[in-house]
Amino acid sequence: MANQVSKHIKTLLSFFLFVLLLSDTVLSVRKSINLKKPCKHFLLHLHNVAYDSDNTANATSATVINPMVLGLGNFNFGKFVIFDNPVTMDENYLSKPVARAQGFFFYNKKTTYNTWMAFTLVFNSTQHKGTMTIIDANPMMEPTRDLSIVGGTGDFLMTRGIVTFTTDLIQSNKYFRLKMDIKLYECY
Ligand SMILES: *[C@@H]1O[C@H](CO)[C@@H](O)[C@H](O)[C@H]1NC(C)=O
Ligand SMILES: *[C@@H]1O[C@H](CO)[C@@H](O)[C@H](O)[C@H]1NC(C)=O
């Protein structure tokens, strides 16, 4: 009986050792990442046309909650915007979109304009098919902001990287254009 138990323990131990070895091998074949040189680097422009009650046909974003009336300061604290924005290669709003930016942002600071964003760049053209998801804080008063690209599908399968935002143009509450400098550090 005791002999059998120790035999079982031995089998169990060697099994764990095997798993440990295996996981070590898996780790060692992981790609090394060169943070100085992105594996893909490109520029895109995002256009946001806010719904303003008389542009139903052209609006690409809508405020779904706006608690400004509650008196939470002057920086839109609590405002929540959902969007399906066109993304182009150049700065022209009328250029053929290469992707859509689909997601949301909300204002989350009472002392300055500051948003938190979560959206996916959806590519569906003959050149590119796939998605890239961006989730991060967007301190929009800074001249440039780095946001994390946390994953992707299709042509951007399992990608990770950084997108640097620059606000190119703001036209009152109706329109803004963002320059997105995309650097991917993991490509498969
Ligand atoms: C809005 O969309 C309509 C219909 O597509 C178009 O005729 C009009 O020029 C657009 N307006 C603006 C300001 O882009
Ligand atoms: C992608 O484009 C194809 C061809 O235009 C279309 O049939 C398909 O529905 C699109 N997919 C998405 C997710 O938009």
pLDDT value for 104: 98
How confident is the model over 110-166, as pLDDT tens digits? 999 999 999 999 999 999 999 999 999 999 999 999 999 999 999 999 999 999 999
CB 84 within 8 Å of CB 77:
no
Three-state DSSP class for 123? strand
Please, which pLDDT band fits residue 67 given cuts at 50, 70 and 90? confident
- Give residue 60's pLDDT band: very low, low, confident or very high (50, 70, 90): very high
- pLDDT(2) > 60: no
Q: What is the pLDDT of residue 100?
A: 98
Three-state secondary structure call for residue 129: strand
For residue 145, give the nearest of 103, 117, 111, 175 by alpha carbon: 117
Residue 20 has pLDDT above 60, yes or no: no
Comparing 102 with 18, the larger pLDDT belongs to 102
Pick the residue whose CA is nearest to atom 9 on ligand 1.
Answer: 58
**Burial (CB count within 10 angstroms: exposed 0-12, middle 13-18, buried 19+), residue 13:** exposed
**One-letter amino acid of 49:** V
Q: Ligand 1: does its nearest atom lie under 6 Å from the Cβ of 58?
A: yes
Strand blocks (E) in the chain = 40-49, 61-65, 80-88, 99-107, 115-124, 129-138, 145-154, 160-171, 175-186
Prediction pTM value: 0.81
Atom of ligand 1 at shortest range from CA of 57: 2
By the 8 A CB rule, do 2 and 10 touch? no
Whether residue 173 has its Cβ less than 6 Å from ligand 1: no
Instruction: Give yes or no for residue 5 CB within 6 A of ligand 1.
Output: no
Q: How sure is the predictor about 50, in pLDDT bands with cuts at 50, 70 and 90?
A: very high
Q: How many CB atoms lie within 10 A of CB 146?
A: 14
Please, what is the average pLDDT of the chain?
Answer: 88
Ligand closest to Cα of 129 equals 2
Check if the beta carbon of residue 21 is closer than 8 Å to that of residue 29: no
pLDDT in tens, 92-106: 999 999 999 999 999
What is the pLDDT averaged over residues 8-21?
Answer: 60
57 lines ligand 1 (CB under 6 A): yes
